[in-house]
Amino acid sequence: MGKRIWVHWVIMALHVVAIVIFTRGFLLTRTELPFYSNCSDVLQSPCSFSVNENQNQNQNDTVDQNQQRCWSKPAIGRLVIIVFDALRFDFVAPSTFFQESKPWMDKLQFVQDLAAKNASSARIFKAIADPPTTSLQRLKGLTTGGLPTFIDVGNSFGAPAIVEDNLIHQLAKNGKRVVMMGDDTWMQLFPNHFEKSFPYPSFNVRDLDTVDNGCIEHLLPFLHQEDWDVLIAHFLGVDHAGHIFGVDSVQMIEKLEQYNSILQKVVEALESQSAPGGLHENTLLLVMGDHGQTINGDHGGGSAEEVETSIFAVSFKNPPSPLPSEFDTSSCGLDLGRRNICFSSIQQLDFAVTVSALLGIPFPFGSIGRVNPQLYALGAGTWHFEDSAGNYQNKSKLEEWMLNYANVLCTNSWQVKRYIDIYSASSVIGFSNEDLLRIASMYAKAEEKWSHATQKLLLHKKESHNELLPALRRQIDLYSEFLASVAELARSKWTEFNLKMMGTGLGIMLISLLIHFLAIKKVKEQYGFSFTSSGDSGISFGLIFSCFMVVIRACSFLSNSFILEEGKVACFLLATTALVKMRYSIMKKKMILEAFVFLLLITICRFTIEVGLSKQAPSSEFMNAYPSWMLRIAAGFPIWNFVAEALPVVALILLAFLLREAITRSSSKGIWKYIIMGTNLSYMLIAVHWASESDRLNLAWVLKGTGRSYIPRLIYAIGFGQLLLLTFNQLFSKRKSSDHSNLLYIKTVAMFSAWSSTIIILLGKQGPWVALAFIIGGYCIMRLDNIELDVKDGGNWNRMLDPVPVTQWSLFAVCLFFCTGHWCAFDGLRYGAAFTGFEEFLLVPQAILLTMDTFGFSLILPIFGVPFLVTRLGQSEKGKKFILMRLSLVYMIYGLIMATSVTATIICVTMHRRHLMVWGLFAPKFVFDVAGLILTDILVCLASHYYFSQVEDDALQDVSTKK
């Protein structure tokens, strides 16, 4: 193998070591303590005061008297939880609550009807999730009452069982029979906790109905059975419809209408059995989402669309009326029918502890949430004690509820304080002493008032009747303030950072940059290359300009705003380099057309990036193919529907023609013609596949059922076969070529052909256009680099290497990443692409497909296409001798640019580790960049073996003998 390839392997090894060490320090999970709450624990708290046990003698208790009190008095007997995955808040709330009405609003009309007619027993909540908003984090946060940790995102496709204390564990431990149906993620998180379970595979986002139909099949019959206490049904149709079709789609509206019908049947079944003595006399129904979704159907980040979901609570008790005004934070408005509807807000952090309090089980040990007063009051059936004049009608009933809630908050605060103390003592870093002292002071103040004031009033209730209610209100305020402060502290400083490991990783990364630089310097000096046109060792304008571009882009990562606009920044820097090249071409009066075309292409890319990053796009599927303005044209002119279908096929034909011409003009012998034949066949299959999926052409009958999966799989097989053919030719072919430049050119075109068909079908109908943009942009970069070549007539031009084209190539690759609708966030991954050709979830092949879809045009094709920058040297016999070393040097410069950008990202996340957007923005950027760097190193090593292995030694020997 080549003598210089080992450098790339060494650099890759250093990068892997640096990233692993840094990641271990930066993305540490929150320390999960191996402790569990028990009923007896509450005896250690100051909150076991039982109000002279008169609560146990309450004749109005609707809970069976044989139920023993644990941490709180049970308020409900049964709980039905229906989870609609990715349920946006505006799916539930009336459209009149929003500035603009959308087609997907007011589809859950039955929910709004209940909230309007039964305001005292049915309430809409806006539930606020904590990012990251992937399903795993949300289910974990909902059941543990803790904040999610970023590193858990990596487990979203293979969730490990939750080992820390959680709501499901407490339910099973305390004799509650839990039945689950739907999303199989619950089985992965809680493998041995359910009395009965009916899981269905959850990761085939193209399947809108299997999971939902399974839930419907089991949900309604179970509502008439007695062998359960908690029923969980997790529907996935809305989430999958969003991922594939977007929120503004027919499929989404159909799903919401289906859910509306399901809820109507569920409520009817519960109401029919809610009479005194009935099966559901004391049942609470919770209809909720785990997170929201963007207009494109994505989620994972921290935008309002993603973190705002909904909880709809319905109590089937005989309801009194609303909550006392001081605890009611509702917002009200009129719906389309001019009915008054109110909604409240709740943090998802509060869900686990509130449900635990309602069911009378211990709170999860690691929960830091607060028992929500409105949801707790609705479930407990103790609402509104004021008459129309604002006077309390039944003070004893009000006092009983407020005392019960104060006692629950006391237990809640004690549990959170216990957890914070043990966590800080057990974890490596924990919270700072200043923070611990502050929250300890707040808790001590609340506890002192409880022990020395509130309980004394309770013991002398008759003498202090008028003082009890104000005292209870102050007590509740103190506990609420303490719990809110702990939650705020945890959100700002939860994750532990190991600065030593982070510093070590960063140090190794800087060492790798130094080795990279020294390797470039050695090759440059050994073979007489220069960055100046005169061939001396001075610093050229091109080198300074390239360094400036790389440094400017690296510095932009210091700002969260610039990271959000990273695609635009890269496009601006690329346009700046293009303007410099245009100025040079005008001065030399050469290649003005190429300079103009390149600028025009960058302008189109800038427009595409603007549309691709907009979360207000019509739908994710449409965004995969066309800009939004074309939709309006198509709506006004039906002929454009046909044109919109035909244009991607035309682009595909043009792409096939260009590749065929590129090969046949250079060589029509050997395996190259078979590579092109395979690519042409794949392109034809792609066109057939698009036609069969088109709603306008109505050709679905051509490939019925699973037949639609066969074409993509056949294309994958052809592409894999092409790569195998190129590999075998590389290993076993003994043919030597005197024209290294031409051979390098042919091998590059063949490699592009082998990869392109798979990447195009994954990207959808935008694929051929992006491929054409890649070819045109690459051609312009190569030709504009030829300006210096064309104005030189001999001399040292063959030893000159301008780093500007390499910088342009790198920036162009970044632009293509954003042009294809991706961005550095987990909601920027197009999960639907992984199911192209697959109906079921298979981790390895679909991880490969998702990687190819994400990095196909930004890493895979640009790295294998780097030889286009040096093939121009075939015009000179002397250039042939240096072409491979020039290519090696170009690969080193390209790798150094990538490594510098990633190092800047690492420095930025280190500096901003306490930034408000660290988990919502900086951490995803870090994950995408380091994954891209490792993939870049692997591809550079493979490309070096592919391009160098047969001819490098002969060429280098030629160079050394003729120097």
Positive or negative torsion for Cα 621, 626, 627, 629: negative
Domain edge (last residue) among 383, 410, 440: 383
Average pLDDT of span 548-568: 90
723 and 835 housed in the same domain: yes
725 and 843 housed in the same domain: yes
243 and 111 housed in the same domain: yes
CA 913 to chain centre: 19
Which structure tokens are listed for 415?
A: 């549990």
390 in any annotated domain: no
3-state DSSP of 176-211: CCEEEEEECHHHHHCCCCCCEEEEECCCCCCCCCHH
**Residue 868: pLDDT band by 50, 70, 90 thresholds?**
confident
Query: Nearest 10 degrees: CA dihedral of 275, 279, 282, 283?
Result: -120
875 and 727 housed in the same domain: yes
Asked if residues 865 and 778 have their Cβ atoms less than 8 Å apart, the reply is yes
Which residue intervals of 224-330 are DSSP H helices?
237-245, 250-271, 304-307
Q: Residue 479 CB: number of other CB atoms within 10 A?
A: 29
- Strand-strand pairing, 308-315 and 331-334: unpaired
688 and 814 housed in the same domain: yes
Asked if residues 769 and 624 have their Cβ atoms less than 8 Å apart, the reply is no
Choose between 851 and 328: higher pLDDT: 851
Tokens 């030189």 locate to 792
Nearest to 155 by CA among 176, 137, 142, 181: 137
Q: Give residue 623's pLDDT.
A: 39
What DSSP letter does each residue of 830-842 carry, written as one string? -GGGGGTT-SS--
Asked if residues 726 and 749 have their Cβ atoms less than 8 Å apart, the reply is no
Over its C-alpha atoms, the chain yields an Rg (Å, rounded) of: 32
Q: Give residue 914's pLDDT.
A: 65
Q: Phi, psi at residue 341, to the nearest 5°?
A: -130, 135
Q: Give residue 231's pLDDT.
A: 97
pTM to 2 decimals?
0.72
Average pLDDT of span 686-691: 86
Residue type, 19: I
Could you give the percent of the chain with pLDDT greater than 90? 41
The CA distance from 743 to 268, in Å, is: 74
The CA distance from 531 to 709, in Å, is: 51
Nearest to 69 by CA among 39, 90, 41: 39
765 and 851 housed in the same domain: yes
Tokens 């923005």 locate to 921
Q: Give residue 57's pLDDT.
A: 39
Asked if residues 752 and 856 have their Cβ atoms less than 8 Å apart, the reply is no
Is pLDDT of 637 > 70? Answer: no
Q: Residue 342 CB: number of other CB atoms within 10 A?
A: 16
94 in any annotated domain: yes
Q: Residue 14 CB: number of other CB atoms within 10 A?
A: 19
Which structure tokens are listed for 292?
A: 């929201």
Asked if residues 159 and 185 have their Cβ atoms less than 8 Å apart, the reply is yes
Is pLDDT of 558 > 50? Answer: yes
Instruction: For 406-431, write each residue's pLDDT tens digit.
Output: 889 999 999 999 999 888 887 655 67
Residue type, 519: A
The CA distance from 406 to 680, in Å, is: 73
Average pLDDT of span 87-111: 92
Nearest to 612 by CA among 220, 186, 298, 909: 298
**Range from 20-24, 154-158, 244-248, 361-365 carrying the lowest mean pLDDT:** 154-158
Which structure tokens are listed for 40?
A: 């007896």
The CA distance from 550 to 572, in Å, is: 12
For residue 942, give its domain range. 4-17+540-616+632-961
Residues recorded for the chain: 963
11 and 107 housed in the same domain: no
Angle between helices 877-911 and 499-526 (to 10 degrees): 160
422 in any annotated domain: no
Q: Give residue 631's pLDDT.
A: 43
**Residue 288: pLDDT band by 50, 70, 90 thresholds?**
very high
Nearest to 265 by CA among 235, 221, 208: 221
The CA distance from 885 to 448, in Å, is: 78
Mean pLDDT of the chain: 81
Q: Give residue 484's pLDDT.
A: 93
- Is the peptide bond prior to 319 cis by the omega test (within 30 degrees of 0)? no
Nearest to 75 by CA among 366, 322, 316: 316
Instruction: For 724-749, write each residue's pLDDT tens digit.
Output: 998 888 777 655 555 667 778 888 99
Nearest to 189 by CA among 166, 207, 171: 166
Domain edge (last residue) among 350, 383, 416: 383
* Side-chain-facing half-sphere of 867: CA atoms under 13 Å: 25
Which structure tokens are listed for 578?
A: 């293009």
Q: What SS3 class is residue 829?
A: coil
- 326 sits in the region (left: phi over 0; alpha: psi -120 to 50; else beta) called alpha
Q: What domain count does the chain have?
A: 2
- β-pair partners for 342: 332
Angle at 282 between CA 277 and CA 286, to 5 degrees: 145
How far are the Cα atoms of 115, 258, 597, 873 from residue 337, in angstroms, in the given order?
13, 22, 57, 75
Average pLDDT of span 702-720: 78
User: End-to-end CA distance of the chain, in Å?
Assistant: 22
Angle at 265 between CA 260 and CA 270, to 5 degrees: 125
Positive or negative torsion for Cα 248, 252, 257, 262: negative
Average pLDDT of span 265-275: 92
Q: Give residue 629's pLDDT.
A: 39
512 in any annotated domain: no
Q: What SS3 class is residue 796?
A: coil
145 and 13 housed in the same domain: no
590 in any annotated domain: yes
Q: Give residue 88's pLDDT.
A: 94
Q: Give residue 324's pLDDT.
A: 63
121 in any annotated domain: yes
Residue type, 719: G
Q: Phi, psi at residue 502, to the nearest 5°?
A: -60, -45
The CA distance from 618 to 631, in Å, is: 9
Instruction: For 49-78, write each residue's pLDDT tens digit.
Output: 544 344 343 434 444 433 456 888 888 999
How far are the Cα atoms of 469, 767, 813, 829, 963 from residue 760, in angstroms, in the given order?
69, 4, 16, 16, 45
- Strand-strand pairing, 122-128 and 340-347: parallel
CATH number, domain containing residue 122: 3.40.720.10
13 and 105 housed in the same domain: no
204 in any annotated domain: yes
Instruction: For 590-630, write each residue's pLDDT tens digit.
Output: 888 989 999 999 999 988 888 765 543 433 333 344 444 34
Query: Nearest 10 degrees: CA dihedral of 846, 847, 848, 853?
Result: 90
Residue type, 783: R
Domain edge (last residue) among 359, 383, 407: 383
610 and 716 housed in the same domain: yes
Residue type, 72: S
Query: Nearest 10 degrees: CA dihedral of 256, 261, 267, 269?
Result: -140
**Range from 307-321, 496-510, 760-774 carrying the lowest mean pLDDT:** 307-321
Positive or negative torsion for Cα 397, 403, 405, 407: negative
**Residue 875: pLDDT band by 50, 70, 90 thresholds?**
very low
**Residue 874: pLDDT band by 50, 70, 90 thresholds?**
very low
**Residue 3: pLDDT band by 50, 70, 90 thresholds?**
low
Instruction: For 134-152, write each residue's pLDDT tens digit.
Output: 777 888 889 999 886 655 4
The CA distance from 223 to 220, in Å, is: 5
Is pLDDT of 668 > 80? Answer: no
9 and 102 housed in the same domain: no
Is pLDDT of 259 > 90? Answer: yes
Instruction: For 798-848, write each residue's pLDDT tens digit.
Output: 567 889 999 999 999 999 999 988 888 776 788 788 888 887 777 788 889
Q: Phi, psi at residue 315, to the nearest 5°?
A: -105, 135
Angle between helices 351-359 and 135-144 (to 10 degrees): 40
**Residue 467: pLDDT band by 50, 70, 90 thresholds?**
confident
- Strand-strand pairing, 283-288 and 78-84: parallel
Q: Give residue 899's pLDDT.
A: 95
Q: Give residue 488's pLDDT.
A: 87
Average pLDDT of span 478-500: 83
Asked if residues 921 and 560 have their Cβ atoms less than 8 Å apart, the reply is yes
Tokens 């929003």 locate to 98
Nearest to 821 by CA among 861, 764, 895, 761: 764
9 and 122 housed in the same domain: no
If you ran DSSP here, which 8-state letter would residue 36 be given?
-
Choose between 641 and 484: higher pLDDT: 484
If you ran DSSP here, which 8-state letter would residue 227 be given?
S
Contacts of 65 (CB under 8 A, 6+ apart): 56
Q: What SS3 class is residue 696?
A: coil
How far are the Cα atoms of 506, 530, 562, 858 from residue 513, in angstroms, in the given order?
11, 20, 24, 22
957 in any annotated domain: yes
